[in-house]
Structure 1
């Protein structure tokens, strides 16, 4: 497994060109590019430019609308439901979070549910939009059914990530960004490219037995909920995933559970959908709706310092603050560049050749 390092600007230029070729407007191409590059900068390689080919294939299948009419279809002073018109989730999601932020600016909080969308990148990107406004940001999305609920031998839920973002003072924001499955599907894809086994407790085979084969999903297996199995608290991960699915889709009118359309283009969506596209959910809460923002940030700084000074089992290890590793990656990669695995580079160069644009 080899990596090739690219400058942020090189990857931005390439990614932007791909979205323009798909027919996106300059504004949408720039925004979609920013979401993907943010993922690579923050070290979440599974959700960055490695996803480009998947978006293009869905667009070719006419499952992604490059020129969507994103609009509010239901609204109160503090809530809204948005129809993404089958657009890129990378564009629909920031639109929705900005609506939540605008409502929070006026009324203290804003809550937005989304239907008829697609994969929206990393949840952290959208929560950070609120954090930058001294708000608490909440973002979540349902996803292709790859996860078996506790005791089930059937894929009914997605990895269904959720993110909570909190603004700090002198420290980077606390960003709790996680899948509600034992592992995100992107981590299986990384293991497949590297031809490596995955840890015990991530997946089960088609018969419900534990497996370490990263290709298990291709033969009828399933990812497991956060917690792995009942003895290790999988019912909690299942409950979190169900919460994401209900807020993102049952609330908005998107597809939920096994009806969520697959991210891969070679699998067709359900012939009998219960809603429209994928669903997301966003929240923005003004910190100063609860106490002065600076007071909160000073105390969150104190919280961070206390946790970082905790006694540890191994003296060579420190307690990690949620979002700290991603922030460190971002600072480093903005200077030293972004490493991309050679398999992904080859895939992107093939994509460039097909689209008639300059490769990496």
Structure 2
């Protein structure tokens, strides 16, 4: 089913309003989710909406948080999200980072007491709009086993770096530090498909292609899948995200991160508050004139796009390019939603006495 972006945006805003979010926060939260769907990252868009509602019903999300800076220096800060939507808390923190960067060249903010913040790219791109380099990362509920382990100790822990270009769209390096994002498993589950080998292991530590394996004690694998293919590097990247997002801010880390799903209770022995994020912004002109940087990044992009490929029918894909192409197409032609997601959203519509999504 194709849905007009404007229709989906209004629907999503109304759901956030219905759970008690302010008009300003509802617009912002909906914008983060819609940007994900527009960019083709369906796993983190409106498909997540019912998850936020269920957490709100469990009183694990505060719809009207008092988001505040609890510690700061001229270039750094710690933000407490007051259990608010990460979709709102993270943009607040990035604005803090940007303001510090405007004054001092760079700004770095670690966040505690937050929730799932959507796609990391949304927050990193906020800095790009100011001719800055943006950084965004978050820890997440433990689904990933470290190299050599079959115990779930880390989240998919995504990180994003965004760079402003000139004639080209920004270069956006947005990736999970696991072999695959959990949302990819959810998409496979909804469509009844298997997943590639190397994404998941069962509870005994054997590769499986069953997207439901996590429900029976399995775990996601780090980026690289196994040690021979560099999983220790994925583990290291994930550890970096966890430490910067949570150990630094006072959020929960490792196996203590609360689950996104409402039917699972948070750990009874928390080591911090909520989940954590880490946001950063650096002024390009702190290093060289912006126009020079953009010109040379354009040259960088040109050279990589023109590189010789093994298969002449293929081309080198610049990070962020597929998402930008999806955004152009979906803004014009509509956002595709699978039947399971439409059904899920219509349950919410009935729950809050809203008009259902229809063809």
Equivalent position SS for 1:283: strand
Deviation string, structure 1 residues 221-263 (Cα, Å, up to 9, x no partner): 0000000011110000000000000000000000000000000
Aligned mate of 1:5, from 2, 5, 12: 2
Report 1:173-212 matches (<5 A).
173-212=170-209
In the superposition, the TM-score normalised over structure 1's length comes to: 0.99
Match of 1:239 in 2: 236
Equivalent position SS for 1:284: strand
Q: Aligned-pair RMSD on alpha carbons?
A: 0.4
Cα distance in structure 2, aligned partners of 1:255 and 1:332: 39
The CA deviation at 1:351 is 1.2
Match of 1:65 in 2: 62
Deviation string, structure 1 residues 177-212 (Cα, Å, up to 9, x no partner): 000000000000000001100000000001000000
Match of 1:102 in 2: 99
Match of 2:13 in 1: 16
Equivalent position SS for 2:78: strand
Aligned mate of 1:26, from 23, 26, 33: 23
Match of 1:48 in 2: 45
Report whether the alignment pairs 1:262 with 2:262: no
Report whether the alignment pairs 1:301 with 2:298: yes
Cα distance in structure 2, aligned partners of 1:357 and 1:72: 36
Deviation string, structure 1 residues 27-66 (Cα, Å, up to 9, x no partner): 0000000000000000000000000000000000000000
Aligned mate of 2:87, from 68, 87, 90: 90
Aligned mate of 1:313, from 300, 310, 315: 310
Match of 2:117 in 1: 120
The CA deviation at 1:355 is 1.6
Report 1:216-231 matches (<5 A).
216-231=213-228
Cα distance in structure 2, aligned partners of 1:193 and 1:97: 33
Cα distance in structure 1, aligned partners of 2:355 and 2:11: 7
Cα distance in structure 2, aligned partners of 1:276 and 1:358: 37
Aligned mate of 1:158, from 134, 155, 159: 155
Equivalent position SS for 1:104: helix
Show structure 1 runs of 4+ deviating over 3 A.
Answer: none
Cα distance in structure 2, aligned partners of 1:350 and 1:68: 26
Match of 1:328 in 2: 325
Match of 1:215 in 2: 212
Equivalent position SS for 2:173: strand
Unaligned stretches of 5+ residues in structure 1: none
Cα distance in structure 1, aligned partners of 2:103 and 2:19: 36
Deviation string, structure 1 residues 48-103 (Cα, Å, up to 9, x no partner): 00000000000000000000000000000000000000000000000000000000
Cα distance in structure 2, aligned partners of 1:29 and 1:358: 18
